[in-house]
Structure 1
Amino acid sequence: MSSISALESRITAALDRIRQGVEAQSMRDTDAELRAALAAERATNAELVARVRALKERQDTQVASLTERVEKQRAQLASYDAQMQTLRSSNAQMRDINAKLREAVTEGLAPELVNAAVAAELQALQDQRTAEAVEIDAILSELKPLVEEKTHAAG
């Protein structure tokens, strides 16, 4: 009987070792599956990070472009405003001199007033042309990118 007990213990020990081996193999298979899933998630995460970077770069480029356009338009607007102020000043001066000229005509003609009136009118016309040129430049600078986009899209 002792040999049966010894065989029984040996068989039980062998079965325990087999069970442990099967469990270890099962854990290795599970680890491999987990590692594969982890690798897939890391690859997906890297792809998402790359897409976010690309989106951020594109957004930064667009923001920089828009900021540049805004600054350019502000400068044009300031130039246009300065020209308009000069034009208003010239027109006010011309109206003042013309009023004096009308007074002088009613009282008696003064040649220096006529000369001043003509000079003021000439200055007002020059200022008006300059203001119109600034306005045309502002319009053209706005149209130029649109024309270039249309040319690039067609070509």
Structure 2
Amino acid sequence: MSDLAELERRISAALDRIARRADMSQSVSQPASQPVSSGSSAASGPAGAGGGGDAGAVLAALRAELSAEQSTNAQLTERVHQLKQRQDNTISQLERSMARLTEQLDLQSLELLRLKKANAKLVSANAALRDTQAAGYPEGQVMNRSLSAELEALQAERRVEIAEMEEILAELKPLLSAEASHAG
């Protein structure tokens, strides 16, 4: 934004200089009997300094100055365009990264929920197993439920670990590809 403010300031200054020189060229081309308009004196600018000044030289100088300002304007416009492209690229990269992280978080939340349910079943099955063991020999059905719940809890724990490993690999993959591109 400061580039745009600077550009506006420079254009305004150039237009002011052009207006002053145009007033000077009008005052130089007017006969001596006519008063000078808009309060400018013929000796206030470079064209009036020599006494007569050439209107063509003033016009050429104005055109050169205008051309220089247009060139500067074009350069600043291109720079603003490049900055906008860089900003758009950064925003799109951040949005992709955020989407990927959101997906990973959703996956981990799902696996964590499964793990909590499996652990709740395991606690319940183990409590039933303890109760039947206290009464004597455990029933086969209670033993099967206990083992099944334990197996389910272990599987859920493994899925959580796999999700964590995938997250770590997803974070390492860009670093490794960047390192490989720098090495190659």
TM-score normalized by the length of structure 1: 0.83
Does 2:73 align with 1:59?
Answer: no
Distance 2:180 2:83 in 1: 26
Corresponding residue for 1:73?
A: 101
**Structure whose alpha-carbon radius of gyration is higher:** 1
Amino acid at match of 2:120: A
Higher helix residue share = 1
Distance 1:76 1:82 in 2: 10
Q: Whose relative contact order is higher, 1 or 2, with alpha carbons under 8 Å and at least 6 apart?
A: 1
Task: Give structure 1 regions of 4+ aligned residues with deviation exceeding 3 angstroms.
Answer: none
Give a deviation string over 1:75-115, Cα, whole Å, max 9, x none. 11110111011001101110111011000000122110000
- Aligned-pair CA distance for 1:35: 0.4
- Aligned-pair CA distance for 1:58: 1.1
Out of 164, 169, 179, the residue aligned to residue 135 of structure 1 is 164
Corresponding residue for 1:82?
A: 110
How many pairs does the alignment contain?
134
Distance 2:135 2:64 in 1: 106
Does 2:55 align with 1:27?
Answer: yes
- Aligned-pair CA distance for 1:150: 1.1
TM-score normalized by the length of structure 2: 0.70
CA RMSD of aligned residues (A): 1.4
Instruction: Provide the secondary structure at the position in 1 that maps to 2:127.
Output: helix
Structure 2 portions without partners, runs of 5+:
1-31, 33-50
Structure 1 portions without partners, runs of 5+:
1-15, 17-21
